[in-house]
Amino acid sequence: MPVILPVKGISPTIPASCFIAPNATIVGDVEMGEECSVWFNAVIRGDVNSIRMGHKVNIQDGACLHCTYEKTKVVIGHHVSIGHHALVHGCTIEDNVLIGMGAIVMDNVVVGTNTIIAAGAVVLENTICESGSIYAGVPAKKVKDISQELIHNEIDRIANNYVMYSSWFK
């Protein structure tokens, strides 16, 4: 059974259309949209501030979402994929975004729509990631504009595939 706990009287809100892996942890002030998935060993800690997710968000294996007490929240748009072992902390991620495996996205970052954060990238505090771009490196920098092909063949495909994968477990 997943660990789903209230914190200070606030329980996570998880629609029935979502898949939560048996060893995922979701606590506190967390609200998920429809058709989201939280995979094995992922942790979503809404204990010190709120975490909001749109529809078709997937939090892949070992990823961690958290905030900073009384300072930063996590806001995630629709059709967002958070890759395996990524850390998303106190930031805003707009619609149609792919956060690559092992990436770190820090406090007060804004990742614009139709953007890819490459695997292993470290997006430093207060960075504004331009919509329609690919960011990579440590610290992450814009490396190029994203093509419509990448938006369709990567960002959209992965978000939709995770909805399909989660149906295998229901």
pTM of the predicted model as reported, rounded to 2 decimal places = 0.96
The pLDDT score that the predictor gives to residue 63 is 98
Sequence-distant contacts of 95-103: CB under 8 A, at least 24 apart: 95/54, 96/151, 96/155, 96/156, 96/159, 97/155, 98/154, 98/155, 98/158, 101/60, 103/140
Q: For residue 134, name the pLDDT band (cuts at 50, 70, 90).
A: very high
Please report the domains of the chain, with CATH numbers, ordered by start residue: 3-167 (2.160.10.10)
Query: In this predicted model, what pLDDT tens digit does every residue of 142-160 receive, in sequence order?
Result: 999 999 888 888 999 999 9
CB 141 within 8 A of CB 123: no
